[in-house]
Amino acid sequence: MDHVSLDIESGELYFLLGPSGCGKTTLLRMIAGFIEPTSGSIHFGTRDVTFLSPNHRNTGMVFQSYALWPHMTVATNVAFGLSVRKTPAAESASRVIDALRAVRMESYSERKPNQLSGGQQQRVALARAIVVRPDVLLLDEPLSNLDAKLRIELRTEIRRICKESGITTVYVTHDQKEALSMADRVAILNQGRVVQVGTPRDLYRRPASVFVAEFLGETNLIPFDSSAPIDDALATYTTAAGPVVAPRTAHARGVLSIRPEAIRLQPRESVGLRGRVTSTTYLGELAQYTIELPANTRLNVSVLNPGDEVLATGSNTTLTIAPSDIHVLGS
């Protein structure tokens, strides 16, 4: 980690997002107490936990491998952390029921882990983490071992559980869709540094760098080498593909970041950037096009609900983009 400084609010569902090897799991393990930082400090509220052992930090952790005891029932797996804390039996039984009810697994309390699906096992692992009422809940890519359909279903469930419990949650993932759909805020990491922090909407629509723009979803990057103001809000940017109207900035040169879904395909005679379709991919709910513009500029375009009118390869078209959907990045 390289001079990382983060403030995570109480009750927040906070994501650490970045490519493999960027440091997100290392940072999570520092919060958990498995790795000691060589400098700096970690606080839970006013409590300095920098050099406390993991069992004295009151954290709950959910791993991607579930880590359930195979010889124990669901209920005894969930109760394990309470038994270590010597919680009275009556209170332990009540809290186990509450935790299983929160993850909608109360009817499976007497089953063994090998009698459960992967998604059910992950719910039990989550119940085991929240039953101890941790100060911080730590989730290390908890959905990575599940199939795509189940991952989508559990996103909503995990967010519901975290928000209903009110537990401050730090969630590590490399899956951009998970972060966008679940997080209150996201810290994007690259090579041990935090490169941008914000809400999912802010990060997607207003990335601070080309790295963030490209990592958080797909984008088209069009270089510009000059701009001329139109008014206080807009400017015309000169690109090899033609002039583009976008929000006015102080950048003399740089790139325009345009998401594929922000581009509209119009009849050839419309006003906009002229291009030719070089490839078409039909995916049911959307059609993806590659459009070739002048000066070998290529843009990817996504059209939602394309219906029966899918453009064929070789078709001529005009591209229009609302200025508010263009983000200007300086070089």
- pLDDT value of residue 184: 98
13-211 maps to CATH 3.40.50.300: yes
Mean pLDDT (whole number) for 86-104: 93
| % of the chain exceeding 70 in pLDDT | 100
Mean pLDDT of the chain: 93
CATH class of 218-330: mainly beta
- Say if residue 101's pLDDT is above 90: yes
- Region 237-266: what's the mean pLDDT? 95
Q: In 3D, which of 147, 89, 157, 86 has the Cα closest to residue 127?
A: 157
Question: What would the mean pLDDT of 263-267 be, rounded to a whole number?
Answer: 92
Residue 293 pLDDT:
95
Q: How many CB atoms lie within 10 A of CB 33?
A: 19
In whole angstroms, give the CA distance from residue 139 to residue 269.
53
3-class DSSP assignment, residue 205: helix
pLDDT digits (tens, 9 = 90+) for 151-187: 888 899 899 999 999 999 999 999 999 999 999 999 9
Percent of the chain residues topping a pLDDT of 90: 85
Report angle CA 160, 165, 169 to the nearest 5 degrees.
80
Chain region(s) in the chain for CATH 2.40.50.140: 218-330
**CA separation (Å) from 95 to 79, 90, 264, 304, 320?**
8, 9, 54, 46, 57
Continuous segment of H or E residues that includes residue 92: helix 89-102
Q: Tokens 């990335």 identify what position?
A: 207
Helix, strand, coil content of the chain in percent (nearest 5): 30, 30, 40
pLDDT per position as a tens digit, 111-127: 999 999 988 998 999 99
The pLDDT tens digits of the residues spanning 267-315 come to 887 888 999 999 999 999 999 999 999 999 999 999 999 888 788 999 9
Task: List, by residue range, all CATH 3.40.50.300 domains of the chain.
Answer: 13-211
pLDDT digits (tens, 9 = 90+) for 19-76: 999 999 999 999 999 999 999 999 999 999 999 999 899 999 998 887 899 999 999 9
Buried b (16+ CB within 10 A) or exposed e, 141-174: bbbebbeeebbeebbebbbebbeebebbbbbbbb
